[in-house]
Structures are given as structure tokens and as C-alpha cells.
């Protein structure tokens, strides 16, 4: 199972999907485009807290994708 983790006010919201299920993959891809379109950055989480990888395109084979809201200066 793959998982998309979206940071939000509740801490995070998790969406699991089966990479072998084309319909679930389509929904996950739509979510990816919707969130990145809103300014979220998608990060493929690395192992053991490593830096991971910034995702420019949707990849259904990434196990865990974290969506970080747009940054602002404080």
C-alpha cells in the first residue's frame, strides 16, 4: 500500500491507496495535482528520517508522500 500524508490543522490526514488498483491510483494522482496546484510541496519520504526526495511529478510507486503546505515568512 502507498500512502499520501497531507499536513493540516488536525496534524495530518492520511490517504492510503493500492498502487496496483488503477482507479485508486487515478484518485491519488488527482489529489497530487490538486494539492501541488495549491502550492503544496510533495516529498517522497526517505528511510530513517533521511532527506527524502522532492517530487515534481506523481509517482504511484512512492511508498509515502508527504504534502507540505506553501511556506511563508514570519
Partner 1 sequence: MDGVAEILRALFRRALREHGRDASVLTDLIVLRAGSRFGPRLGAQFSNGYRAWAALTPSDLQAYCERHSAWDMESLRRVLLREAQQIYARMLEAHVAEITFREHWAQVAGRMQRGRDEPPPSRLDRFARLIGFGRRSLFDDDGKAAKRGARLLEENLTPAQRQQYAKYRYFDVTGGKTGKCYRIHHGSSMNIDQLDKNGKRVCGWCFFPRGGLVAGDVMLAQKFALELFESEALQVANRLYRY
Cβ-based nearer residue to partner 1, 19 or 45: 45
Shortest distance, position 4 Cβ to partner 1, whole Å: 13
Shortest distance, position 45 Cβ to partner 1, whole Å: 6
User: Which residues here bind partner 1, judged by CB under 8 A?
Assistant: 5, 7-12, 39, 41, 43, 45, 48-54, 66, 68-74
Cβ-based nearer residue to partner 1, 7 or 20: 7
Q: Which three cell numbers stand for residue 68?
A: 507540505
- Cα distance between residue 41 and residue 43, in whole Å: 6
Nearest C-alpha neighbor of 2 from the set 45, 37, 35? 45
- Cα distance between residue 61 and residue 59, in whole Å: 5
Amino acid at each position: 500500500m502507498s500512502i499520501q500524508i497531507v499536513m493540516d490543522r488536525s496534524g495530518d490526514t492520511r490517504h492510503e491507496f493500492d498502487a496496483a488498483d488503477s482507479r485508486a491510483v487515478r484518485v491519488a494522482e488527482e489529489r497530487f495535482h490538486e494539492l501541488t496546484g495549491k502550492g503544496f510541496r510533495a516529498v517522497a519520504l526517505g528511510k530513517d528520517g533521511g532527506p527524502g526526495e522532492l517530487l515534481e511529478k506523481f509517482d504511484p510507486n512512492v511508498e509515502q508522500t508527504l504534502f507540505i503546505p506553501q511556506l511563508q515568512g514570519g
